[in-house]
C-alpha cells in the first residue's frame, strides 16, 4: 500500500502542476469518439514536450557531482531488491526514522531552522548528526535554504517553488544547483546563529563522514543486505519524501489557513515525513514545534519533541497559537 501511494503521489508531483479549475464537460462529437492511437500518442508527446519546456530544470546546467551521487543512490536502492532479508527491512525502517524524523524533522527543521524548542547542546548535536544521515547536506546549507524558502515562498528567491515547474521543485533544484554546499556566500546571512558554533561549522564541512561510517559498520555486521537496505534504499525513500514537502504540499492538498502562498496540508506526505506534510499549518506558524493541529493530524516529530520534554531534555516549546484560538472560538460558539 505504501509503495502504491508513494508512487502515485510522486508521479503526479513530477508530471503536473496544480490543476486549474475544470470546465463543464462537453459532449464528444461522434467523429472524435474513437481517436486513432497515433493522435493519442502525438497529444501525449506534445504534453510532455510542453512540460519539459516550461520546467526550469531543463534550462539549467546539470551539477554532475550531485547528480552522480543521486544516480548511485538510486541504483543502490534498486540493488536492495535483490538482497532482501527481514532484518534488513527492519533496519531500513529504523534508520528511516532516525534520519528522517530525529534528524530532519526534529533536528534540522523544527530545532535548528525555526528554533521551535530548546535542548541541551549535546541533544542538538546528536539530532544534527542524525540529520546528516539523510544525505541532504550539512546543517548550515539545509537551514539557510529553508529559511530562504520561508522568506520568499512562491516568489523570486524561493529555491524550490513549483511555479518554476513540478520537477524543479521536487528534485531539479538539487540536480542543477549547489544545494548541498555549505560554503555558498548567499547562505551565510541566513545562519548567523549556526556560524558561531564550531560543531555546526565542522559537521557542515564533513557531513558525509557519519554516513560513510554507518555504511562501513552495516556492511561489517550484516553484509550487502544491511548496506543496501540500511543505507541506499532507506536514503532514497527519505529523500523523495522530503522533496514531496517542497513540491506536492505546494501543489495539492487543503488549506486551513490563509497564508498568502500555495502551502497545503497533505495526509500522505505527512505519513511519509513523520508529520512534515501539514505544511499549511507550518507556514501559518513557522516557529511552532507542533505541525499537526487537529487530533487526526499524525505528527510523529511532535511526539518525539514531547518525549524529550517529558525526559527534561526540551523546554521553551513554541505552541501553535492559531490552534488555541480556534479551540477558544469553538467553545464560545457552543
Mean pLDDT of 157-176: 87
The three-state secondary structure class of 118 is strand
Q: 10 lies in a domain?
A: no
Query: What band does 186 get if pLDDT is binned at 50, 70 and 90?
Result: confident
Q: How many CB atoms lie within 10 A of CB 304?
A: 21
Dist CA 137 CA 131 (whole Å): 8
How much of the chain exceeds pLDDT 70, in percent?
78
Mean pLDDT of the chain: 84
Selected residue with higher pLDDT from 37 and 101: 101
Q: 81 lies in a domain?
A: yes
Q: 21 lies in a domain?
A: no
Q: 16 lies in a domain?
A: no
Which stretch of DSSP H or E encloses residue 308? helix 300-310
Cell numbers describing residue 331: 467553545
Dist CA 190 CA 214 (whole Å): 30
Contact (Cβ atoms closer than 8 angstroms) between residue 238 and residue 99: yes
CA atoms lying within 13 Å on the CB side of residue 287 = 8
User: What pLDDT does residue 157 have?
Assistant: 83
Contact (Cβ atoms closer than 8 angstroms) between residue 292 and residue 322: no
Query: What band does 331 get if pLDDT is binned at 50, 70 and 90?
Result: very low
Selected residue with higher pLDDT from 37 and 249: 249
Q: 297 lies in a domain?
A: yes
Residue 168 has pLDDT above 50, yes or no: yes
Residue 27 has pLDDT above 70, yes or no: no
Query: What band does 49 get if pLDDT is binned at 50, 70 and 90?
Result: low
Only one residue has cell 520561508, namely 150
The residue segments making up the domain with residue 144 are: 77-319
The three-state secondary structure class of 315 is strand
**Total tally of structural domains belonging to the chain:** 1
User: What pLDDT does residue 48 have?
Assistant: 57
Query: What band does 26 get if pLDDT is binned at 50, 70 and 90?
Result: very low
Dist CA 331 CA 223 (whole Å): 58
User: What pLDDT does residue 21 have?
Assistant: 44
Amino acid at each position: 500500500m505504501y509503495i502504491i501511494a508513494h508512487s502515485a503521489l510522486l508521479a503526479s508531483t513530477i508530471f503536473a502542476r496544480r490543476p486549474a479549475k475544470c470546465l463543464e464537460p462537453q459532449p464528444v462529437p461522434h467523429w472524435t469518439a474513437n481517436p486513432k492511437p497515433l493522435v493519442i500518442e502525438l497529444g501525449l508527446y506534445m504534453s510532455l514536450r510542453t512540460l519539459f519546456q516550461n520546467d526550469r530544470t531543463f534550462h539549467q546546467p546539470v551539477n554532475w557531482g550531485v547528480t552522480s551521487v543521486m544516480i548511485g543512490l538510486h541504483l543502490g536502492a534498486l540493488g536492495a531488491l535483490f538482497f532482501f532479508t527481514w532484518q534488513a527491512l527492519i533496519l531500513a525502517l529504523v534508520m528511516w526514522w532516525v534520519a528522517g524524523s530525529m534528524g530532519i524533522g526534529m533536528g534540522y527543521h523544527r530545532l535548528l531552522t525555526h528554533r521551535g524548542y530548546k535542548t541541551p547542546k549535546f541533544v542538538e548535536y546528536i539530532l544534527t548528526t542524525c540529520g546528516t544521515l539523510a544525505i541532504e547536506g550539512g546543517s548550515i546549507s539545509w537551514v539557510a535554504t529553508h529559511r530562504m524558502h520561508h522568506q520568499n515562498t512562491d516568489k523570486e528567491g524561493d529555491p524550490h517553488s513549483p511555479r518554476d515547474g513540478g520537477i524543479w521543485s521536487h528534485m531539479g533544484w538539487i540536480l542543477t544547483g549547489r544545494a548541498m554546499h555549505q560554503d555558498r556566500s548567499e547562505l551565510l546571512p541566513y545562519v548567523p546563529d549556526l556560524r558561531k558554533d564550531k560543531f555546526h561549522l565542522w559537521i557542515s564541512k564533513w557531513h558525509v563522514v557519519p554516513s560513510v561510517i554507518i555504511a562501513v559498520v552495516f556492511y561489517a555486521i550484516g553484509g550487502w543486505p544491511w548496506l543496501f537496505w540500511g543505507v541506499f534504499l532507506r536514503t532514497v525513500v527519505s529523500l523523495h519524501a522530503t522533496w514531496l514537502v517542497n513540491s506536492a504540499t505546494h501543489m495539492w492538498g487543503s488549506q486551513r489557513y490563509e497564508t498568502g502562498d500555495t502551502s497545503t496540508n497533505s495526509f500522505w506526505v505527512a505519513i511519509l515525513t513523520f508529520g512534515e506534510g501539514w505544511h499549511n499549518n507550518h507556514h501559518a506558524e513557522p516557529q511552532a514545534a507542533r505541525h499537526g493541529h487537529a487530533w487526526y493530524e499524525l505528527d510523529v516529530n511532535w511526539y518525539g519533541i514531547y518525549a524529550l520534554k517529558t525526559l527534561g531534555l526540551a523546554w521553551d516549546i513554541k505552541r501553535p497559537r492559531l490552534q488555541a484560538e480556534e479551540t477558544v472560538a469553538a467553545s464560545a460558539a457552543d
